[in-house]
Amino acid sequence: MHNGEEKAQSGGEESRLSLCARHLWTERNLLVVTGDFGALLSGKRAYDVRYGISPDDAGDIRALDRLMAAAALAAVSLAERESWGWTMTSAGAAHGLFCAAEPEGLICGTARAADPDRAVAHVQRRKGDGPVVESRFVPVSADPVASVQRYFAQVEQIDTRLALDDGGRGALVQAMPGGALAELASAPDAELVAELCAIGASGRAKHLDDVVIFYECRCDDKRIAEMIGRLPDAARRELWGVEAEICVTCPRCGREFRVPK
């Protein structure tokens, strides 16, 4: 069993597991990643209910759903799992988005207050205990899926197409050396997802691996207390002031913690 699946099942979230598949379409030299993210998004809803996290508006919910699905596809496209952090703000948007993808299949995310006059995307990647690699680019669309696609084109310089359909399924197709996306680059999203899912299911592409994806955050009382404990004494005194306890919001998922002085 995948280690991410063990973690999700140990928390009683067996129904919250999404499965992504990675294939090599050898006749076209294309990498194909597909996934059904209905369970991931249901897991996000259940997590928010469990911890009393209220979304800001319906637009934030839809945009964050799309970012989490796109981030999952991006993470699974790698042969070796990495930690990813995606932070995005679109021009004119009242809220920015954050999404984390971890090697064990964990995905979490939240909407944050943002400057509507500043559009920027910030990506952090880390493999194992290695250094954090940071990239910035300007998103050209309010759609997070287009922004993740732009990251691969502009930063990684890999010809990539991502698409999601209305049923929660998604697909990523990426050109390998000698490959070209050709007509796939401009295919309608729903048609592209259906075609790439069918290619994997039919055996026309070589199956590489499956990865379990689930919604959860690593935050807990101990981690939050340790985070505050690492602050300088002066910063801690300023943080608490005269209060006996403070409320701290996890920047990754939006969960609130009450921390006693």
Could you read off the pLDDT of 39-67 as tens digits, one per residue?
999 999 999 999 999 876 777 899 999 99
Report pLDDT digits (tens) over 131-188. 999 999 999 888 999 999 999 999 999 999 999 999 999 999 999 999 999 999 999 9
Q: Are residues 102 and 152 in the same domain?
A: yes
Identify the domain containing residue 252 by its residue range.
Answer: 221-260
Residue 242 has pLDDT above 80, yes or no: no
Q: Cα dist. 211→3, 112, 217 in Å?
A: 10, 28, 18
The tally of domains found in the chain comes to 2
Distance between CA 239 and CA 237 in Å, rounded? Answer: 5
What's residue 14's pLDDT?
56
The pair of three-digit structure tokens given for residue 186, joined into one six-digit string: 């401009």
Q: Are residues 239 and 127 in the same domain?
A: no
In the three-class reduction of DSSP (H, G, I as helix; E, B as strand; rest coil), residue 197 is classed as: helix
Q: Are residues 53 and 82 in the same domain?
A: yes
Q: Any alpha helices (H) in the chain, and if so which ranges?
A: 3-10, 38-51, 58-76, 144-151, 189-202, 221-229, 233-240
**What 8-state DSSP symbol labels residue 186?**
G
Distance between CA 71 and CA 85 in Å, rounded? Answer: 9
How far is Cα of residue 250 from the mean position of the Cα atoms in its chain? 16
Q: Are residues 35 and 74 in the same domain?
A: yes
Q: Are residues 120 and 240 in the same domain?
A: no
